[in-house]
Amino acid sequence: MARKPLIAGNWKMNLNHLEAINLVQKLAFSLTDRDYDAVDVAVLPPFTDLRSVQTLVDGDRLRIVYGAQDVSRHDSGAYTGEISGAMLAKLGCAFTLVGHSERRQYHAEDEALCNAKVKAAYRHSLTPILCVGEGLPIRQEGRHVEHTLAQLAGALEGVPAEQARSIVVAYEPVWAIGTGEVATPADAQEVCGAIRTRLADLYGGDVAGEVRVLYGGSVKSDNIAGIMAQPDIDGALVGGASLDQGEFVKICRFGE
């Protein structure tokens, strides 16, 4: 089965709920059925925007989908400041990021926590977009594939094949995030191909063939085409450029 590409915009901690409505309205105005037939388009706004995005998407029957940037490992209870998978599901989220490098870096998220978050997402029918990728020193030592595959295996520990077949894996080399330093298509393919091979080792070729593997790191309209031409890359996780409606739409069209 051919994998439908996914372009997901990670807004990070940008845009209040009014600005979110404005951007989603502009995207809805620009994106056509032809675009949605070719790619799945998702936005990942801050938690405080989700209810507004839900109202807009439901009210206008938009084909854009949305998700969260993080999910609690817990389902409810005394966890001040956390947001559960159940809450996100109730808001109509399709996706949640897990293990974005900014959460790994600033919130000390490790493999065990990412694994618990992947499982929490599945408990509430959310599709995890699991972020993996190496920092610059690890790449300079030539250990980027090994490091990324260890993150992948750690986050998938105990996750059954029926769930794993729907996961989205985003390979995001940390040195390319928000730096303007994009990995070459060949560099991105090297690791995305290794991710698919490891998924095949863990779950078999059928599952590996279904999983969407994205590239993320300074994706723009002028570099997306080369990335999308790679056999094991099924889309992009886009940070900064997803805040610009015109640029994001061009990325959804692979630069055209």
Query: Shortest Cβ distance from residue 180 to ligand PEP (Å)?
Result: 8
Rule CB under 6 A: is residue 237 a binding residue for ligand PEP?
A: yes
Interface segment toward ligand PEP; rule CB under 6 A; list 77-85, 156-164, 231-239, 244-252: 231-239
Among 67, 99, 216, 235, binds ligand PEP (CB under 6 A): 216
- Should residue 238 be labelled a site residue for ligand PEP when binding is judged by CB under 6 A? yes
Q: Is 4 annotated as a binding residue?
A: no
- Shortest spacing between CB 11 and ligand PEP, in angstroms: 9
Closer of 162 and 222 to ligand PEP (Cβ): 222
Closer of 16 and 179 to ligand PEP (Cβ): 179
Q: Is 12 annotated as a binding residue?
A: yes
Distance CA(73)–CA(89), nearest Å, equals 14
Judge residue 107's burial from the number of C-beta atoms within 10 Å of its C-beta, 0-12 exposed, 13-18 middle, 19 or more buried: exposed
Give the number of residues in contact with ligand PEP, rule: CB under 6 A: 14
**Contact status: 219 vs ligand PEP (CB under 6 A):** yes
Rule CB under 6 A: is residue 239 a binding residue for ligand PEP? yes
d(CA 186, CA 78): 46
For residues 27 and 41, the answer to whether their CB atoms sit within 8 Å is yes
Q: What six digits make up the tokens of 59?
A: 């009210």
Of the candidate spans 72-80, 84-92, 148-156, 233-241, the one that interacts with ligand PEP by CB under 6 A turns out to be 233-241
10 is in an annotated binding site: yes
Residue 121 dihedral angles phi and psi, to the nearest 5°: -60, -50
Contact call for residue 178 and ligand PEP (CB under 6 A): yes
Give the residue numbers annotated as catalytic, written as ranges: 100, 172
d(C-alpha 218, C-alpha 248), whole Å = 12
- Give the containing element (helix H, strand E) for 13: none
- The secondary element (H helix, E strand) that includes residue 138 is helix 136-140
**Interface pick for ligand PEP out of 151, 217, 224, 251 (rule CB under 6 A):** 217
Residue 11 labelled as part of a binding site: yes
Q: Does 133 bind ligand PEP (CB under 6 A)?
A: no
Has 154 been labeled as part of a binding site?
no
Q: Which of 93, 85, 167, 162 is nearest to 121 (CA)?
A: 85
- Counting contacts by CB under 6 A, is residue 240 touching ligand PEP? yes
Residues paired with residue 6 on neighbouring β-strands, in sequence order: 40, 235
Q: According to CB under 6 A, which one of 6, 10, 119, 188 is a site residue for ligand PEP?
A: 10
Identify which of 107, 91, 100 has the alpha carbon closest to the alpha carbon of residue 53.
91
Q: What is the separation of C-alpha 149 from the centre of its chain, rounded to a whole number of angstroms?
A: 17
Distances in Å between the Cα of 169 and the Cα atoms of 35, 79, 188, 228, 250 are: 22, 27, 13, 15, 22
List, as residue ranges, the binding site. Answer: 10-12, 178, 218, 239-240
The footprint of ligand PEP (CB under 6 A) covers 10, 12, 172, 177-178, 216-219, 237-241
